[in-house]
Structure 1
Amino acid sequence: MRLEDALRQILLDNQIRTQEELVETLNALGHEEVSQSRVSRMLRKLGAIKAKNADGEIVYRLPKEPAPPAMDSSVETLALDIVANEAMIIIHTSPGAASLIGRIVDFRQEELMVLGTIAGDDCLMVIPKTTQQVEEVSNRLKELLYL
């Protein structure tokens, strides 16, 4: 996982109080040459802020980060098939499910290397950041959607 993606995921999944804690967590994930100053620059780039959590502790947060759509085993029944050509990917879904699958993909846009999505009723068009990434994006989507 790219360093920036790892940092974003750590902030979403954990209650990180200090930059040192963040460096230690990144090191544990295999990003061993990360310094506190680099973490500081990345936090600024991501727009991370310090805010109180439910326990009143001050922790790093990503501002106005949308909550990810709930994903459970039912996503297996919503996404039916993924097909691709040299430029884009189409996800066929159960009727009415394309928007939900689109939200799931949009929430993980950076991790999945996706430029954007367009949803219909039962079909979702996924546009990779580059045409060279179509196969990789398609594989990541298949893994995410249990296909």
Structure 2
Amino acid sequence: MMKQSPLIQNIKALLKEQQIRSHYELSYYLAERGFENTSQPQISRILKQIGAVSIKNSNGESVYTIQHELMMPTLDTQVKELVIDSHTNQFIVMVETIPGSADIIARVIENSPIKRLILATIAGDDNVMLIPSSIKSCSQIKEMIKTIFN
């Protein structure tokens, strides 16, 4: 059985890069990336798991996009798949997660080498706010977040 993590990562990337209109089109692009034996039911399950929905693009065509509010973690979901992005304003670092995952991500961060650079970690539902011990370390913290969760 194929590992889901690389498959899910490739599906997410394709949905960001391409205007995917159907499961058939998605399976074509996946085959180009080395996932030749991806079944339609498997694609359908993954699209549902990652919160992909069909919307109308600017040309009026139905295309798939990911709506993070709909993504539901499963037992196969890896922790790094819970992080959407991270941002800094040079005073704090914000880690955006899928809904309901911020507490898990905060715990991972607090048990990582980043902890030594952080004064406080505050988790909401879909965001983790990291207050650095020094504002000089915001960029370093953001880069460490990317390393851990990418």
**Structure 2 length as normaliser, TM-score?**
0.50
Structure 1: any 5+ residue segments left out of the alignment? 72-77, 79-93, 108-114, 127-137
Q: Considering only aligned residues, what root-mean-square deviation do their CA atoms show, in Å? A: 3.8
Equivalent residue in structure 1 for 2:48, among 44, 51, 73: 44
| 1:46-93 Cα deviation digits (max 9, x unpaired) | 23211101221110111256xx7699xxxxxx8xxxxxxxxxxxxxxx
| Percent of aligned positions that are identical | 25
Q: Are the counterparts in 1 of residues 53 and 65 from structure 2 also a CA contact under 8 Å?
A: yes
Paired with 2:145 and 2:93, the residues of 1 have a C-alpha distance of 18
The count of residues paired between Structure 1 and Structure 2 equals 99
Query: Secondary structure, in 3 states, of the residue corresponding to 2:67?
Result: coil
Give runs of aligned pairs for residues 1-147 of structure 1, distance below 5 A.
2-64=6-68, 95-96=90-91, 98-99=93-94, 102-103=95-96, 106=97, 115-117=104-106, 118=121, 119-121=130-132, 122=135, 141=147
Instruction: Give the distance between the partners of 1:6 and 1:140, measured in 2 at CA.
Output: 18
3-state DSSP class of the match of 2:43?
helix
Q: Distance in 1 between matches of 2:10 and 2:36?
A: 13
Q: What is the TM-score with the length of structure 1 in the denominator?
A: 0.50
SS of alignment partner, residue 116 of structure 1: helix
CA distance in 2, matches of 1:70, 1:54: 28
